[in-house]
Amino acid sequence: MQQPKTNGKKVGAALIVGGGIGGMAAALDLAACGIKVYLADSKPSIGGVMAQLDKTFPTNDCAM
């Protein structure tokens, strides 16, 4: 596997694969803590399955 050229230093960036609720939550935390985030998704919008939901149980809150 190809090694990144970082002179042994740690890179202050993370890749998140999947922009559903999990990927978004992780991205927000990391960005808030000063980590650059690359959030990748195969769809043209983030949101994942949750964006397709109408309501969520058990509060019947709107999922959007």
Partner 1 sequence: MKNEFEVGLSDRKAVYILFPQSIPNKATIDKREERPCKAACMYACPINTNVLGYVKLIAQGKYKEAYQMNRDINPLPSACGRVCYAPCEKNCNRGQLEDPIAIRELKMFVADQVNIDELPIPQITKTGKKVAVIGAGPGGLAAANDLALKGHDVTIFEAQPEAGGMLRYAIPEYRLPKKILEQEINYIKRLGVEIKTGVEVGKDIALANIRKDCQAIFIGVGAPGGMKLEGEGADQPGVTDGIKFLQAVNLGRKVEIGKKVAVVGGGNTAIDCARTVKRLGAEEVRLVYRRTRAEMPAAAEEIEAMEKEGIKTDYLTLPKRFFSKNGTLSEMECIKMQLGEPDASGRRRPVPIAGSEFKVSVDTVIAALGQVTQVEFLKEMGVNLAKNGTVPIDPNTGVTNIEGIFAGGDVVTGAAYVIDAISAGKKAAISIDRYLKGDPIEVLREDKKPEKLDEKEVAVLKQRFPSENRVHMKELPVAERVTNFKEVALGFSPEQAVKEAIRCLAGQIEGCIECEECKRRCEALAVDYTQKEEKVEINVGSIILSPGYQVYDATGKPEFGYGRFPNVIGALEFERILSASGPFGGHVVRPSDHKEPKRIAFIQCIGSRDHERDYCSSFCCMFATKEAIIAKEHLGKDLQCDIFFMDMRAFSKGFDEYYERAKQLGINYIRSRPASIEEVPGSRNLTVKYLIEDDKKASREYDMVILSIGTQPPKEADRIAKIFGIELNEHHFCKTSPFHPVESKRSGIYLAGAFTQPKDIPETVMEASGAASKVLSLLKEARGSLIVKEDFPEERNVLGEEPRVGVFVCNCGSNIAGFVNVPEIAEYAKTLPNVVYVGNNLYTCSNDTQDNIKEKIKEHNLNRVVVSACTPRTHEPLFRNTVRKAGLNPYLFEMANIRDQCSWVHMNEREKGTQKAKDLVRMAVAKARLLEPLEMMTVPVNKAALVIGSGLSGMTSALELADQGFEVYLVEKEKELGGYLKQIHYLIDGTKTNNELKSLAARVKENKNIHLFTQAKIEKVDGFIGNFKTKITMNGTSKEFEHGTVIVATGSKEYKPKEYLYGADERVLTQLELEQKLAQGGGLAKGVKNVVMIQCVGSRDEERPYCSRLCCNEAVKNALKIKELSPETNVYVLYRDVRTYGFKESYYTQARQKGIVFIRYEKDQKPEVVKTKNGLKVNVFDQTLGIPVTMNSDLVVLSAGVVPNEDNKTIGQYLKVPLNKDGFFLEAHMKLRPIDFATDGVFLAGMAHFPKAVEESIAQSQAASSRAATVLSKDSIELEGIISKVVDANCDGCAFCIDPCPYRGITLIEYMSKDAIKKTVEVNEVLCKGCGTCMATCPKKGIFVGGFKLEQISAQVNAALGVEA
Q: How many CB atoms within 10 Å of residue 19?
A: 19
Does 8 sit near partner 1 (CB under 8 A)? no
Within residues 11-30, the interface with partner 1 by CB under 8 A covers 11-18, 20-26, 29-30
Does 7 sit near partner 1 (CB under 8 A)? no
Name the residue among 44, 52, 55 with its Cα closest to residue 21.
52
Does 58 sit near partner 1 (CB under 8 A)? yes
- The size of the interface with partner 1 (CB under 8 A), counted in residues, is 52
When computed from its CA atoms, the radius of gyration of the chain, rounded to whole angstroms, is 16
Q: Quote the CA–CA distance of 50 and 64 in Å, as a whole number.
A: 8
- Positions touching partner 1 (CB under 8 A) are 1, 4-6, 9-18, 20-26, 29-36, 38, 42-61, 63-64
